[in-house]
Amino acid sequence: MAKYKFKLLAGRHSINIGTDAKPEIKRYGMGDIVETDQELDKLFNSRGSTKFERLAYEEPDTLESLAEAEANLAKRKAALLTKKDAPVEPKSQSDDLSKLTLPELQEIANSNGIELGRAKTKDEVLKVVKAALVTA
């Protein structure tokens, strides 16, 4: 099964799809799609001369690739859940909250269970967050 898929942008290209004993030449013209195990763009493209364009190509699923994808997804999901559940706090007590943006302050408030009430502006939210963190 071919690993790579390319579009031939210029000229012609030929590939032996047979064996050395019984060669079978397949010819491609400009605009044709070439599927191969070789990285044709690295072999034939040079600075200022692009003969092949690499196309996105999905390899067929195998049991191994599906198991690997499932394991990677589980790792990513666990990392996101851990990140989501952890309260967002300033990096240290010396961090100046006034340097944070309004969305950052709102995130700190939400993740620490701080009720903002009617506070809408950055200054209002900053006062509420500072007061809540001091009493916490």
Mind listing the pLDDT tens digit for each residue in 15-39?
888 888 888 999 999 999 998 888 8
| Residue 35 belongs to a domain | yes
Please report whether residue 78 resides in a domain. Answer: no
Residue 38 maps to a domain: yes
Q: Residue 65 domain-assigned?
A: no
- What Cα–Cα distance (Å) separates residue 82 from each residue in 71, 85, 90, 110? 17, 5, 18, 16
Is the confidence at residue 90, as pLDDT, over 80? Answer: no
- pLDDT for res 93: 42
Domain count, the chain: 2
pLDDT tens by residue, 51-74 = 999 997 666 667 777 788 788 888
Q: What is the pTM of this model?
A: 0.41
Tokens 């599906």 belong to which residue? 66
User: The domain containing residue 131 runs over which residues?
Assistant: 97-135
Residue 50 lies in a domain: yes
Taking 80 as the threshold, does the pLDDT of residue 83 lie above it?
no
Q: Is residue 17 part of a domain?
A: yes
